[in-house]
Amino acid sequence: MLGKIALEEHFAIPETLADSRGFLPEDYWPELSARLLDIHQRRIEEMDRHGIEMMLLSLNAPAVQAIHDVKKADEIARRANDFLAEQVAKNPKRFQAFAALPLQDPDLATRELERCIKQLGFRGALANGFSQSGTPETCLYYDLKQYWPFWEMVQKLDAPFYLHPRNPIAAWAQIYEGHPWLLGPTWAFGQETAVHALRLMGSGLFDAYPRLKIIVGHMGEGLPFSMWRVDNRNAWAKTPPKYPAKRKIADYFHENFWLTTSGNFRTQTLIDAMLEVSADRILFSADWPFENVDHAANWFDTASISETDRLKIGRTNSLRLFKLGNE
């Protein structure tokens, strides 16, 4: 399929590059680092070879979210956003941008989001999971009440917000001790992001701000498969939910969330996600440079779905969500 739009596609600046070290064997670091630092050469060649018209770019992980010094987090976020704005301006038909945000401080994050959307022309924001603030052990999740004014601005700006994975901090990761292979994209990324997303759904956030648009990657981080059980476990016991939200969790998942195909190139999983949230809320992504563009595109272009759904997922859903122009 030609004209695909991909939106979980990463870059790095020198200050954040080392954050991506360790996700692959050390022998692959020269290749991965080169991929992360490149925007206008090999990246475009990969796009051209595999029918991708546009990428929405975002900073690598965990980057800003792992900088517990609030002032430095703000500085790096602004530096990364200014750099990305310059790169997009060089070729806006091929690239658009997600803002990196210093969510260690909701007020700073709100101001930076507003700057990126209104002044730099960014299409939304991407946060790499929870933010460490003040100390490495202080982890802030975005359902907390201190973030609700930030979410008010997200809704006001109609800015899609991508909740991207990161590993739990070591002090909270005892279940992975002795099993490091379970960290990262194998399992911990999905588990961490799914719980964070469920916290948002159960907090009442979407009752207060019903027009929020949240994106999660990797075909929904396992949530589509589990959504029925979240709402219907032990259904014979007639007890009220123990969360502040006014509706079933699945209601918010269906109305406020979009999913991407990033790094999860399996047709059975795609069909499950389509059955749960519909083809209207799924978006093509590759997860370059951590996954290969050809793996994503070759799978998607031949997946056993209708051509109508392929066009929606590959292109028109993103055009509509990010206001990218004519369908």
Which residues are annotated as catalytic?
287
Report the distance separating Cα 167 and Cα 198, nearest Å.
17
Amino acid identity of residue 49, one-letter, is R
Amino acid identity of residue 101, one-letter, is L
Q: DSSP assignment of 149-195, as one string?
A: HHHHHHHHHT--EEEE--PPPGGG-GGGTT-GGGTGGGTHHHHHHHH
CA-wise closest residue to 61 among 97, 22, 30: 22
CA-wise closest residue to 163 among 202, 124, 135: 124
Backbone phi and psi for residue 134, each to the nearest 5 degrees, phi listed first: 85, -55
Tokens linked to 248:
């079933």
Three-state SS for 79? helix
Could you tell me if 299 and 323 are in contact, meaning their C-beta atoms sit under 8 angstroms apart? Answer: no
Tokens linked to 272:
């499950």
Report the distance separating Cα 56 and Cα 147, nearest Å.
25
Three-state SS for 240? coil
